[in-house]
Structure 1
Amino acid sequence: MTDISRIKLSNAQIAWRAAQDIEDGAYVNLGIGFPEMVARFQPEGKQAIFHTENGILDFGAAPAPGDEDWDLINAGKKAVTLKPGTSFFHHADSFAMVRGGHLDVAILGAYQVAQNGDLANWSTGKGGIPAVGGAMDLVQSAKRIAVLTDHVTKDGSPKLVDRCTLPLTGVACVTRIYSSLAVVDVVDGHFVLREQVAGLSFDDLQALTGAPLHVEGDVATLTCPEDLA
Structure 2
Amino acid sequence: MNRLTDNELAARVARDIPDGAYVNLGIGKPTHVSTYVPEGREVIYHSENGVLGVGPAPAEGEEDPELIDASKRLITTAPGSAFFEHADSFAMMRGGHIDIAVLGAYQVAENGDLANWATLDEKFPPAVGGAMDLVVGVPTIFVMMRHTDRDDGPKLLKRCTYPLTGLAVVNRVYTDLAVLDVTPDGFRLVELTEGNSLEEVQSVTEARILPPV
- TM-score using structure 2 length: 0.95
* 8 Å CA contact 1:18, 1:38 repeated in 2: yes
The residue correspondences of 1:38-187 to structure 2 (distance < 5 A) are: 38-126=33-121, 127-187=123-183
Superposed CA offset, 1:20-54 (max 9, x none): 00010100011111111111111010111011111
AA aligned opposite 1:128: F
In structure 2, what is the Cα distance between the partners aligned to 1:63 and 1:208? Answer: 36
- What's the counterpart of residue 14 of structure 2? 19
AA aligned opposite 1:74: D
Structure 1: unaligned runs, 5 residues or longer: 218-229
In structure 1, what is the Cα distance between the partners aligned to 2:79 and 2:14? Answer: 22
Greater shift, 198-207 or 132-141, is seen at 198-207
Match of 1:35 among 15, 20, 30: 30
Across the aligned residues of Structure 1 and Structure 2, the Cα RMSD in angstroms comes to 1.3
* 8 Å CA contact 2:119, 2:126 repeated in 1: no
Match of 2:194 among 182, 191, 198: 198
AA aligned opposite 2:196: L
- TM-score using structure 1 length: 0.88
Name the % identity. 53
- What's the counterpart of residue 205 of structure 2? 209
AA aligned opposite 1:161: L
In structure 1, what is the Cα distance between the partners aligned to 2:61 and 2:103? Answer: 28
* 8 Å CA contact 1:122, 1:128 repeated in 2: no
User: Relative to 1, partners in 2 of residues 1:177 and 1:66: Cα closer, same or farther, differing over 3 Å?
Assistant: same
* 8 Å CA contact 1:60, 1:81 repeated in 2: yes
AA aligned opposite 2:180: V
* 8 Å CA contact 1:58, 1:86 repeated in 2: yes
In structure 2, what is the Cα distance between the partners aligned to 1:71 and 1:136? Answer: 27
Greater shift, 196-205 or 184-193, is seen at 196-205
Structure 2: unaligned runs, 5 residues or longer: none
